[in-house]
Amino acid sequence: MLKIGLPKGSSKNKSLNLIKRILNNEINEKQLYFNGNGIEFILLKQRDIPIFVEKGLLDVGIVPEEWMIEKKVKLDVIKELDWCNTRISLISKSEKDVLNANEKIKCVTEFPNISKKFLDSVGKKYEICNVSGSSEAFVPRFFNCCIDCVETGETLKSNNLKEEFVILKSKTVVVKNSQQPYNDELKNILNMIS
């Protein structure tokens, strides 16, 4: 049985629509696990999917590229999806740049590995605080910036924040472990994923 990890959160509706289409059936949208036609679907947090695919607990995963980079996993990207294009950006107060200021960068993020690599490259002193989401809520009260995922930028505008620097651009991709064979079963499933 092929095990596929699908994202919850902002992509949950796309995941559920994919499950309905492949199973050709209505589903209970509150469930996290579905199976049929020789396939198991599991709805998971985006950040966990790359790890489970790497460990072989999942055969295939649909995940934003930034989580593969953050988790430092090497997976075979077998298809790009037009689900959600995002970017990881340094976000600061609209009227104040952090990168050009003469002060220590105090950054909050749920992407500590990406943040460390970027902040090392700018050559300034910094401290990073790792949180599990909504990092922009901490700027500027507790931190002078955050490094977070941006899709439309509407939340930033509503909170007088800006994308000061785009660190990387990301797409949603279908991935597999390099040990997972690229067989006819997998090819058939991939043809149904869009």
181, 128: one domain: no
pLDDT 10s digits, 12-43: 999 999 999 999 888 998 999 999 888 999 99
155, 188: one domain: no
57, 92: one domain: no
Q: For residue 135, which phi and psi values (nearest 5 degrees)?
A: -65, -25
Nearest CA-CA partner of 53 in 6, 5, 113, 115 = 5
**CA–CA separation, 74 vs 121, rounded Å?**
23
Q: The whole model's pTM is what?
A: 0.90
Three-class HEC string of the chain: CEEEEEECHHHHHHHHHHHHHHHCCCCCCCCCEEEECCEEEEEECHHHHHHHHHCCCCCEEEEEHHHHHHHCCCCEEEEEEEEEEEEEEEEEECCCCCCCCCCCEEEEECCHHHHHHHHHHHCCCEEEEECCCCHHHHCCCCCCEEEEEECCCHHHHHCCEEEEEEEEEEEEEEEECCCCCCCHHHHHHHHHCC
Residues 6+ away with beta carbon under 8 Å from 59: 2, 3, 4, 53, 176, 177, 180, 186
pLDDT 10s digits, 57-103: 999 999 999 999 999 999 999 999 989 889 999 999 988 899 998 88
98, 52: one domain: no
Give me the CATH number covering residue 28: 3.40.190.10
Q: How many domains does the chain have?
A: 2
Q: Which domain holds residue 134?
A: 86-170
12, 76: one domain: yes
pLDDT 10s digits, 129-171: 999 988 999 998 999 999 999 998 898 999 999 999 999 999 9
166, 90: one domain: yes
96, 74: one domain: no
52, 106: one domain: no
